Structure 1
Amino acid sequence: MNILQELEYRGLINQMTDREGLAKKLGEEPVTLYVGFDPTADSLHIGSLLPILALRRFQLAGHVPVALVGGGTGLIGDPSGKASERTLNTQDVVAQWTDKLRQQLSRFLDFYAAGNPAQIVNNYNWLGELNVIGFLRDIGKNFTVNYMLAKDSVDSRLEKGISFTEFSYMILQAYDFYKLNEDIGCTLQIGGSDQWGNITAGLELIGKTTGRQAFGLTMPLVTKSDGTKFGKTEGGTIWLDASKTSPYQFYQFWINTDDNDVVKFLKYFTFLTAAEIDELARQVQESPEKREAQRVLAKEVTQLVHGEAAALSAIRISEVLFSGNVQALSGSEVEEAFKDVPSTEIAGGTEIGLIDLLLEVKAAPSKRQARQDIESGAVSVNGTRVTDLEKKIGRDDGIDGRFVVIRRGKRNYYLAKFV
């Protein structure tokens, strides 16, 4: 199975220019290709995983991947997929975010591969040196306003209005492709389906100015069968940065994948073989209650993003919480597992009655309700049900001498931290 066949099997091709020409070129020699990532935050999110992993797939097939971090275009703002104007960030902020994105991208690509090492480039290195007059004469003259207005990224914004700044974004990205084509022989740009207009603008510029042939390929927008937005939860965006979305939270996102989506996501986000995915698809049909496909998906993607140790820790936390044996967790695991749970700091040198503690962490609205909950067996402390109304909780009761996990009912968790 060649690289295009693999992408097709995985459902990763949305649009492509000159399929026969691209297939021929990919079969004849290593192709240099790139994906652009604008620093619009201090971390990439899982919406970026599809193109990142596509770069990795091309590298494993013998081609040369280039990750472009948009230190220049990030100062402008891409109108693609946006209903309104982006907020412009300062150059210092964009520079800091650019550096963080470079670090994240370096985890997925091999920069020491024999024959086809990956590269990371920053388009501020050339966009920051552009002369306005020269740019308008040499680059801008290759694009008619009619051509630019016809692009979806611009056309969709005309009713509400689009600034000249964002209107010009397309030409800047086209110049990126042109520059990489000139400097390192890059002949293929890939990206999400919303980048089709920007990609084809680059092909237009390369063709008009050099006469050389280049290619473009887009991947589909990732959607969920229930209609909710991919990469979003009640807690917010799922980030690739462990300090913004912990490995445990990341693992939980994937393990909660719907049966209707899990096979598609296995194809999109893992490097499992077709035979392995087909076997998991069979298990989804025959034994969906076992959720084996979800467990494999969650482990594979968490391991890709955060490493094997973090993935195994996330699995362990999940298993411990499922069994209810909270005491088996370390302090750091408690912090990770209950990161989004309401937490309250308690003075470390004193004991506090369980009834008062329930009020302190807001697990009960009144002492009367707290008593009823304790007597009915609805309250557990660090995984152990407590029915003693006189029970006192102190630092010695805490996991690692710090954490007390309180559960009220089946799903309501609260965290007390002795400080």
Structure 2
Amino acid sequence: MRHVAVIGSGPAGYYSAEALQKEFGEDVRVDVIDRLPVPYGLIRFGVAPDHQSIKAVAKRYEKVALSGNVRFVGNVMVGRDISIPELLDLYDAVILATGAPNDRPLDIPGSDLPGVVGSAAFVGWYNGHPEFADLDPPLDCEAVAVVGNGNVALDVARILAKTPAEFVGSDIVAHAFEALGNAKIRTIHLLGRRGPHQIAMTPKELGELGHLEAAVPKVDLADFPDELDDVLLEPGMRKSVGHLRSFAAMSHDKPKIIDFDFFAAPVAIEGNGKVERVIVERTHLTKDLRSEGTGETYSIDCGLVVSCIGYKTPPIDGIPYEHGRGRFANDEGFIAPGLYCVGWARRGPTGTIGTNRPDGYEVAEKLAAELKGGSSDKPGRPGLDALLAARGVDIVTFRDWQKIEAAETARARLGSPREKFTAIEDMLNARGG
């Protein structure tokens, strides 16, 4: 029997547990440890609440979690309740699947003003993450600047633009649903440092903007290269750019505008005690397609800035870290003997949910080559339970999570699959006796 601890219960964590099952069969015990009492990480707190079809992948992880040799260990924080060296003493291997939940800083003058919010915080707010439930972003303004040209920026813009009726079927949390319903926003500026051919937006997400009840996307065809150049793009990107071109023909007869502002780099945020405007520098592309400032600036009046410029993995004491890439230093997932990383903790915040699956399988294969044929002398799960019990840590099992999930389903508003608990204490109380 071998014992493996996986730190993080998001996609990378459960794909790793699944891969370990396939490699070792019944000869492995996997503990999936998470700092929150609820599983699924990015699926629960990162995927947009109106994208329920994407969230459905959690059913695959549930099947893994309910199997006999995988256990969910929630409400346990590595670094607070237990250290990595202690886990390495308890398990044959430790796999870091912590994701990249922290915002990359915008790092321009004025970025510390009230009203400047990172996308991890803003997305966490409308998805019910306990750390961001009290964010209370200023939505009583007429204009918002969303910085970034990726799918997260699109999610933020779409959520800001939707009517209450368009959230039917979503699991947006009540406090965000109410606040967005009362918002006064009329213009959402999407700021990108480069041009339409350099976006990181996928066709499905872009296409959704063309079908909103009260908002219409706006683009300036002067920002685009010759249409013949689209042929050189890979198919997905060509389709995305095609959506952008189609937006130019749309009538701006709806009360809200989503304004794509390309070749626009924010250089400062100004305001008297709060966000009042963003100073933007016009850019152009160099030969290697990097953005370069032109010196020409203009201002955009707004009361909220949401920065969607990327994420980073939080460092852990004693684990080598690449600050420039926001990930653990690793060689194809290997960090040190017995210590591995997968997903965004390994690669940085790139790719889709499914991109994390090969990481888990690759690490599982490496562990199988190293550990098969022998028997473990590590205490594994019983050792973890004894240590946590001695420290008074209140762990949450997957059966406990199912009780929490049932309670969330029972308290859902009409048309919503669930109403998430946004406080850890409420999650723990929902387990019952």
- TM class, shorter-chain normalised? under 0.3
TM-score (ref. length: structure 1): 0.25
Q: Which has the higher contact order (CA 8 A, sep 6+)?
A: 2
Larger Rg: 1
TM-score (ref. length: structure 2): 0.25
